[in-house]
Amino acid sequence: MAILANNSLDLHPPNIVKPKIIVICGPTALGKTSIAIDLAGTFSSEIINADSMQIYRYMDIGTAKPTPDEQSYATHHMIDFVNPDEHFDARKFAEMAHKKIIKLHADGVTPFVVGGTGLYIKALVHGLFKSGQADPHIRSRLQEQARICGSDFLHQKLNRHDPETAEKIHPNDTYRIIRALEVHESTGKTITALHREHGFKDNRFRVLKIGLHISREVLYDRINHRVDAMIESGFLKEVKEILNMGYSDSLKSMQSIGYRHLVDFIKGRCSWNEMLRTLKRDTRRYAKRQLTWFKADPEIVWRKPGQLREIRRLIKKFLQDE
């Protein structure tokens, strides 16, 4: 199962020097991409994407994917390489990113891991917990319940069993809700309990984690403006083109923030103004969940986006330390 990773990517043996990585994380709309590109240029580095939506082909505007021009300033890895209907999860991310980091380390490059998907970063740095094989019968039954009763019904069910996990998952995110319920039914334990048992104390790498933050008021204002900019840049056209290519609006990728909202408008389920209102609201809520996730990580050093000089100083010291 996607979040049910194991420790197949073993920690480096004691006699092997662990590679260094620099994580740039934080909520959406903070400018992580531009800052990472600047830093990668300063330190002759490369960027590994840790945004679970920027992996998808054709989904550019709605994911705020770095433009070809931006990517020309720094080499980007693990971006724009998965079709919208392909399965991809934290386990696959950790495996692929791990291999890429080892190769870059051999070439003398300390990469930047950049994104707002906390689970991807945790999977890469600490590994994920074991919980056995997926049970297709449980999954099928839950999928049928979602079809008949709706994802909100399953979200309420998850909230009764595992409120901490439910708080981190949007009620419309059917894929992750089913995944969490499947874990509980197949193991008898919640994801929250499994996370606590794992501990996530061992690092596969020597890591500097830099979290970007600004005041909530400013962040929410930036989110509202970003949504407007995405719409002006042709987000609606992008969604229509993906649908015209034959991709279903029920795909996990198409159920993400922005895409599902525009699909609802295209299908006549809401007005344009209602779509904009809920899109901005849900993006703000997503940013709040991201902050909750990252604030729980004591390893993160928090800086404001404007503190680039201080961020460069931290990175320089980290790279110089043995």
pLDDT of residue 5: 39
pLDDT surpassing 90 at residue 174: no
pLDDT surpassing 50 at residue 6: no
pLDDT surpassing 90 at residue 101: yes
pLDDT in tens, 201-211: 567 899 999 99
Q: Is residue 246 left, alpha or beta, with left meaning phi > 0 and alpha meaning psi from -120 to 50?
A: left
pLDDT of residue 170: 79
pLDDT of residue 288: 96
Q: Are 118 and 24 in contact (CB under 8 A)?
A: no
pLDDT surpassing 80 at residue 11: no
pLDDT of residue 195: 63
The CATH H-level (homologous superfamily) assignment of domain 20-127+200-320 is: P-loop containing nucleotide triphosphate hydrolases (3.40.50.300)
Q: Where are the domains of the chain?
A: 20-127+200-320, 136-196
As a three-state string, the secondary structure of the chain is: CCCCCCCCCCCCCCCCCCCEEEEEECCCCCCHHHHHHHHHHHCCCCEEECCCCCCECCCCCCCCCCCHHHHCCCCEECCCCECCCCCCCHHHHHHHHHHHHHHHHHCCCCCEEEECCHHHHHHHHHCCCCCCCCCHHHHHHHHHHHHHHCHHHHHHHHHHHCHHHHHHCCCCCHHHHHHHHHHHHHHCCCHHHHHHHHCCCCCCCEEEEEEECCCHHHHHHHHHHHHHHHHHCCHHHHHHHHHHCCCCCCCCHHHCCCHHHHHHHHCCCCCHHHHHHHHHHHHHHHHHHHHHHHHCCCCEEEECCCCHHHHHHHHHHHHHCC
Pick the CATH number of 136-196 from 1.10.20.140, 3.40.50.300, 1.20.120.610, 1.10.10.60: 1.10.20.140
Q: Which tokens hold the place of 153?
A: 């019904």
Mean pLDDT over 168-176 rounds to: 82
Percentage of the chain modeled with pLDDT above 90: 73
184 CB-near residues (< 8 Å, 6+ apart): 158, 161, 162, 190, 191
CA distance 103 to 14: 19
pLDDT surpassing 60 at residue 10: no
Q: Give the residue, 54 or 193, on which the prediction is more confident.
A: 54
From the list 18, 14, 15, 71, the residue with the least C-alpha distance to 40 is 71
Which residues is 206 bridged to in the sheet?
Answer: 20
20-127+200-320 and 136-196 in the same fold: no
pLDDT in tens, 53-88: 999 999 999 999 999 999 999 999 999 999 999 999
Beta carbons within 10 angstroms of residue 45's beta carbon: 21
pTM passes above 0.85: no
With 0-12 / 13-18 / 19 or more C-beta atoms within 10 angstroms meaning exposed / middle / buried, residue 217 is: exposed
Beta carbons within 10 angstroms of residue 172's beta carbon: 16
Place 1 in a pLDDT band, splitting at 50, 70 and 90.
very low
Long-range contacts of 81-88 (CB under 8 A, 24+ apart): 81/55, 81/57, 82/55, 82/56, 82/57, 83/56, 83/57, 84/56, 84/57, 84/58, 84/59, 84/242, 84/247, 84/251, 84/253, 84/254, 85/247, 85/248, 85/251, 85/253, 87/252, 88/52, 88/55
pLDDT in tens, 295-318: 999 999 999 999 999 999 999 999
Q: Give the residue, 47 or 190, on which the prediction is more confident.
A: 47
